Structure 1
Amino acid sequence: MKLLFAQFAAMKRFSILFIALLFGRRMQAQEIKTSSTENTPASKSLFNPEHKRNFSRKGNFFFHWGYNHSWYDKSDIRFTGPNYDFTLKDVVAHDRQSKLDWSYLNPSLISVPQYNIRVGYFIKDNYSVSIGWDHMKYVMDIPQTVAITGHIGPNITVDNVPTGALAGNYNGEKINVKESMLTYEHTDGFNYANIEIARYDDIWVAPSGNTSLTLETGVGFGMMVPRSDVRLFQLGRNNNWNVAGYGFSVEAGLKFYPWKHVYFQNTTKLGATNLKTVHTTGHDDSDKASQKINYIENFFAIGVQF
């Protein structure tokens, strides 16, 4: 009988030990699974990189500053005011990026070149919303030969500026536009104040999980706020900033994170704009220009994420 009780006690101790070990293994497996889930990013990359980030970007803010170049499609510019209403067809224009040098590290000069500035927030690991200011420059090539339609009176605008031999009615004739007739620039900014929604897909992630190369794609929309420098038959000025119209854009670019919180970016944008009220002669109530500008913009930037 004593032997039977001893065997029963031994079996009882063995059963308790077995259950404890089994329960401990299950708890350990659950902890590993939970930890793995928490460290796995919320997004799934289209590229399925071999390594994955061990953190999520959701809830992060970011900020970057950079410089751009832009290329413009030909566009029609319509000028209207007292005793004139004419359109120049297929006008050619270029940007005017300043040559970069160390002087632009001076805070008072940092906005002189064509620049981009943006602040944003990650609403998910792979989606962000942001606001930005793209400071481009648009300069009409002078002189150039273009087609013209419409009417130019012998004296135009409220100042009765003489137009000389260019007065007349036009229906597609070619004219050579010189400085005596027109200079037209958005050089204190062909400014695009915009909101963007962007998606991110990791192309490559280092084994550490902190260094990565990411594809960014996005769409944007906003207001065009140029400061236009115009002379129409020698009458005009460097005008004030004004909300002249609106624009849309799509973009694709690469962001390289050498560290978790620092990135370098190169992005190309395709944009379409509609400027309805460009200031020209300084008589904003009576004189204006309008045009639709399509462009390609490429910019390099350095940013921080936190």
Structure 2
Amino acid sequence: MKKFSILFLALLFGKRMHAQELKTSSINNTPSSKSLFNPENKRNFSRKGDFYFHWGYNNSWYGKSDIRFQGPNYDFTLHDVAAHDRQSKLNWSYLNPSLITVPQYNIRVGYFIKDNYSISVGWDHMKYVMDIPQAVAITGTIGANITPENVSTGAMAGTYNGQTINVKESMLTYEHTDGFNYANVELERYDDIWVAPGGNTSLTLETGIGGGLMVPRTEAHLFGLGRNNHFSISGYGVSAKIGLKFYVWKHVYLQNSTKFGATNLTRVHTTGYDEFDKASQKINYIENLTVIGVQF
């Protein structure tokens, strides 16, 4: 009887120890959020392994840039050219599925490789329009007849060494409005600033860096010769961003971010004679975007 009692106590104690170990292991293995801000409440789940998708719209601002035009019998540069974006007015095109890509838009798909890091691919559809008319400095040469079409340049023919000219439509129109497209890959980091007691609603700081290809569709007319060109890989860009991501619920969020970018367009189509005529420029920009997204 004594041996039976000892065996019973040993089994009972062993089960309790095993249950305690399982409970402790479960607690230790519970995924938790990571943040530099150490908010009062923390998420009791990890986002590692989640995907996300978002869509939204942007406004952009461009720094002044030099644009170099090259082709048969001409090679000139316009310096410190000013430009603006072309934001569509708020109308039904933002909701009409057949017109949804008309405004300046952003689309992105990402994957959380860790709770607070993700990698994503996206398309930033911005628009760039050179201010016309405007006074700029010019260097280089313009022949009396240029391009394979031997277009007459009239009084603009000559050699320039920094003189100021007034660029009008009769000389040039130049825009990337279909658009100034940035196809990119980004690495993002997330830090929770505030988390609701339930854990599903939160405010998160997002930072990131990226790089990719510039794929503009440029409409350019040089001394009247030109067209709305086809999409082409014209250069590359790099960017950095910072923004706030508000999780309305665990799987739905609103986000506003500001992106700082630098691009180098080495071959931009102009007159339509792609093998002969081209433009090149470096554009720095600031882009502000607002999106709605889902995480799953």
Name the TM-score class by shorter chain.
Answer: over 0.9
Of the candidates 243, 247, 259, which is equivalent to residue 253 of structure 1?
Answer: 243
**Which runs of 5 or more residues in structure 1 are unaligned?**
1-7
CA distance in 1, matches of 2:196, 2:27: 18
In structure 2, give the amino acid aligned to 1:183.
T
Give the letter aligned to residue 177 of structure 2: T
Distance 1:30 1:215 in 2: 37
Alpha-carbon distance between aligned partners in 2 of 1:103 and 1:144, rounded to the nearest angstrom: 31
Match of 1:45 in 2: 35
Match of 1:176 among 143, 151, 166: 166
Percent identity between the two aligned chains: 72
Corresponding letter in the other structure for 1:70: S
Partner residue, 1:295: 285
Is 1:164 aligned to 2:189, yes or no? Answer: no
CA distance in 1, matches of 2:273, 2:220: 12
AA in 1 matched with 2:229:
N
CA deviation digits over 1:62-103, x for unaligned, max 9?
100000001000000000000000000000001011012234
SS at the partner of 2:34? Answer: coil
* 1:29-50 deviation digits (Å, cap 9, x = unpaired): 3233222233232x52101111
Equivalent of residue 177 in structure 2, options 147, 170, 187: 187
Q: Structure 1 pair 61/245, CA: closer, same or farther in 2 (3 Å)?
A: same
1:63 aligns with 2:63: no
Count of residues in Structure 1 that have an aligned counterpart in Structure 2? 296
Distance 1:91 1:249 in 2: 21
Separation in 2, partners of 1:89, 1:136: 22
Who is 1:30 aligned against?
A: 21
Aligned to 2:192: 202
The C-alpha deviation readout for 1:148-173, integer Å capped at 9, x for no partner, is: 00000111101011111111000000
Letter in 2 for 1:199: R
1:151 is aligned to 2:141: yes
Give a deviation string over 1:175-209, Cα, whole Å, max 9, x none: 00011110110001100000111111111111111
CA-to-aligned-CA distance 1:102-151 (integer Å, 9 cap, x gap) = 34211110000000000111111111111100000000000000000000
Q: Distance in 2 between matches of 1:156 and 1:172?
A: 21
Superposed counterparts of 1:120-159, under 5 Å: 120-159=110-149
Letter in 1 for 2:30: N
Give, in whole Å, the separation in 2 of the partners of 1:103 and 1:288.
Answer: 33
Q: TM-score, normalised by structure 2?
A: 0.96
| Cα distance in 1 between the residues matched to 2:9 and 2:134 | 92
RMSD: 1.6
Work out which of the two has the higher radius of gyration on C-alpha atoms and give 1 or 2. Answer: 1
Q: Distance in 2 between matches of 1:275 and 1:253?
A: 27
1:224 paired residue among 214, 227, 237: 214
- Partner of 1:63, secondary structure, is strand
Counterpart residue identity of residue 134, structure 1: D
Alpha-carbon distance in 1 for matches of 2:73, 2:225: 15
- Give the 3-state SS of the residue equivalent to 1:208 in structure 2: coil
